[in-house]
Amino acid sequence: MNIRNAVPQKQGLYDPAFEHDACGIGFVVNIKGKKSHQIVAQSLEVLNNLNHRGACGCEANTGDGAGILIQLPHAFLVKAAAADKIVLPSPGHYGVGMIFFPRDEKARKEAEARFEKIVAEEGQVFLGWRTVPTNNAALGRTAQAGEPFIRQAFLGRAKSVKDEAAFERALYLIRKRAEHGIQFPNEAGSNRFYIPSLSSRTIVYKGMLLASQMEEYYPELKDPSLTSALALVHSRFSTNTFPNWNRAHPYRYIIHNGEINTLRGNINWMHARQSMMKSEVFGDDLKRLLPVIDTDGSDSAMFYNCLEFLVLAGRSLPHAMMMMIPEPWANHESMSEEKKAFYEYHACLMEPWDGPASIGFTDGVRVGAVLDRNGLRPSRYVVTKDDVVVLASEVGVLDIAPERVLQKGRLQPGRMLLIDTEQGRIISDDEIKKTVASEHPYREWLEKNRIALEDLLDQDKPVHEEHSTAFSSGNRPSGTATRTCGS
């Protein structure tokens, strides 16, 4: 067994391909984008109140996983980096990597050297390393056995990188290259290199922890200068999967409660498309990002792999979520033709990542949540009069005085909740989807590019006489089309 990853090979009735989990999720966000330590503290309170949604093994002090995602806390990082004689530029001009290293010092130093080399090869500026203070005194034996050595890497934005979006893509390429190229397998499997986050916008603190262990393990989460306008938290319950440090959530963009039941097909189709992929923003770098899906991850991690790729390739976060978790649209009588065209067009490009799921997501500016089309995972939210939104997998995760409550609600099947901290407002499901669906003439693209098989085949003569029954004109599915939709 791999101690760090705690995942055995396929054997007997066990197959890692069928792993799923069910968890507790939540987020706290200031609608106006006002950063404070209070948002972080409240989110950790939410996490503690979701402790029962997480799980532990036979050791009561070894958790399945817990974590928090926040915006980069610039004031805190400037102070923390200065202790290691690192001078940080202004926000948006540097990125921070939270990195899990092997505890073996020789392997760690080799991994650090390789990482620095990749940063230089990609034209970015390596600023320095910082060891993250941790306290493992409360952790169980199993959690301690797989515990990584945790460091932060600070990367400066090269002058040639024109904006934050381009810098995020550069950091993504660095991370993918490092993930593919820096591994130190051994018999115990304890020398794995992993990057929980590498971004100029967000940072992730997570581990094989109980929700109640987060603040003790990462003491700096209690520092008043560690501020954010949004925070996503997750308490993991590995229903029929194996917990480890890497599989704790959040996953850079998402927190997930539920299961992806169509996973094998989703993975296979993504692999099949890779040879045909093209990207204006990545250009020739695209081939260095492949494979998109890391099949060593959980179902949540593989969902995240696809979402991140779609977003960094140029789509908005709501657009990518609509592609991956579409509403039931085919026979929807009241849905607008514009929205139907959007879903029909994207059905030619990607299959739904389907299953009972509630997913919280953020790009560091926008934060939201979406529920699967059947509504099989709960998500409740509260909006306060002082511009705070709290969403979680259940009610009662944060004490809010009744007089502060402006609105309460629950996510509806297939619907999306979105808060844009730049615009300082909540954007309704109708507005989000109308905006995304009207960005391009999807109906026109369908009509011009889709090829129906019934238009190609002779209606009177089957292509293969010996198999004529299944494909005769009377049995052919109406409206069957190839996957040739495109712009």
What residues are labeled active site?
23
Residue 100: exposure state from Cβ atoms within 10 A (0-12, 13-18, ≥19): buried
Nearest to 69 by CA among 90, 46, 40: 40
87, 130, 305 from 81: Cα distances, Å: 7, 7, 30
Spell out the residues 6+ positions from residue 470 whose beta carbon is closer than 8 angstroms to its own.
none
How far apart are the C-alpha atoms of 358 and 322, rounded to whole Å? 14
Q: Measure the CA angle with vertex 224, ends 220 and 228; round to 5°.
A: 90
**Burial readout 224-247 (b: 16 or more C-beta within 10 A, e: otherwise):** eebbbbbbbbbbbbbeebbbbbbb
The tally of CA atoms less than 13 A away on the side-chain side of residue 55 is 15
Could you tell me how many residues make up the chain?
487
How far apart are the C-alpha atoms of 174 and 344, rounded to whole Å? 35
- φ/ψ bin of 123: left (φ > 0), alpha (ψ from -120 to 50), beta (otherwise): left
Nearest to 293 by CA among 285, 283, 302: 302
